Amino acid sequence: MSRRTAAPFNRLDAAIVARPWMITVGNQSPAPLGEITPDWDYASAVSLERVITLDHLKAAAELGLADEPYTLEVLIEVGTGPGDLPREVVRQTRLSLEPGEPCAIAIHVDPSRLSAQLSLRTSVLLASALEPGDPLAPRRAASRLWDERCVTRIEGDDPRFPMEVISFSTVFAGRPHEAAPWMLSWSPASPGRDFHGAARLYLNADEEDFVERVQEGDELTLQALMGDVVSQMCEAALRAGWHEDFDSAEPASVAGRVAHWLEQAFPDVAAAKTALENRPGEFRSAILASVRL
């Protein structure tokens, strides 16, 4: 797919040198972070390390800030949970990025908060607002000038959210949802089914800009997408009375996944049910807020 989007300001490229992530599980020796991290369990602590270096002269040229004093910082977001998107961000760390000096990142993650996979997003942000002369230079504080995502599977056989990109105009020609940007295919009739076999999220390949924003990890796009998916399944579950069996639901089942989502958004299931019945707008907004990356 050809790239059709661009950042509204200059971003960093060659000025950032980022060494690969190293992961330490329990008492094992540090190892490069790969697609799969074996031998992890809920009793095994996880430590993550990497080093990032900034070439100030290259950065100033790339950003258009050659005559402007500026400061940068590194933001690390650690997410976890099954699916292509992190279910929960369990740790955030900010560090100063000084010109020419290695920025050593060391993060310890509580293993009790992890499940399925570990997601790491590293971002370089503008630390404070500027008024540069170059119209393409970044000027707002917290502008994301560089970022990278890494994901490693820590348990299970297939923890990723079932997702597929297809042409709706071809597959769903003439149907009411032909022009929709996405569609969740699932049935609320079987709450006990394994989630990965019971649900599949289709993205509309005809909407190239939307699909590209999803693939690039645009935060608002992902929040809107997952907010719709989570709200849709939670609403159906509450209306069907699944909540009466949440305590006995398997974590990997459809009902187990819905129970976790409701737990993230509301004080308890009763509060969620009351909001859905009496304040549906607040219900959906609470779900939307809970899936913010």
CATH number at residue 118: 2.60.40.2550
Say whether both 225 and 120 belong to one domain: no
Say whether both 185 and 79 belong to one domain: no
**Total number of domains constituting the chain:** 2
Say whether both 189 and 265 belong to one domain: yes
Say whether both 187 and 205 belong to one domain: yes
Quick check: 175 and 167 in contact, CB under 8 A?
A: no
pTM: 0.56
Distance of alpha carbon 200 from alpha carbon 197, whole angstroms? 8
- Domain end: 96, 123, 153, which one? 153
Say whether both 193 and 133 belong to one domain: no
Phi, psi of 287 (to 5 degrees): -60, -45
CA torsion sign for 270, 274, 277, 279 is negative
Residue 7 lies in a domain: no
- Tokens 């105009």 found at: 169
Residue 98 lies in a domain: yes
Contact residues for 136 (Cβ-Cβ < 8 A; gap 6+) = 9, 10, 64
pLDDT in tens, 14-42: 999 999 999 998 888 899 998 888 777 76
Say whether both 137 and 253 belong to one domain: no
Say whether both 123 and 229 belong to one domain: no
Quick check: 141 and 94 in contact, CB under 8 A?
A: no
Distance of alpha carbon 42 from alpha carbon 145, whole angstroms? 35
Say whether both 116 and 173 belong to one domain: no
Instruction: Tell me whether strands 163-166 and 199-204 are parallel, antiparallel or unpaired.
Output: parallel
pLDDT in tens, 215-243: 777 889 989 999 999 999 999 999 998 87
- Residue 26: count of CB within 10 angstroms of its CB: 13
Question: DSSP state, 15?
Answer: T
Residue 141 lies in a domain: yes
- Tokens 């697609």 found at: 35
- Domain end: 153, 182, 203, which one? 153
Say whether both 111 and 67 belong to one domain: yes
Q: Which domain holds residue 226?
A: 163-290
pLDDT in tens, 92-103: 999 999 888 999
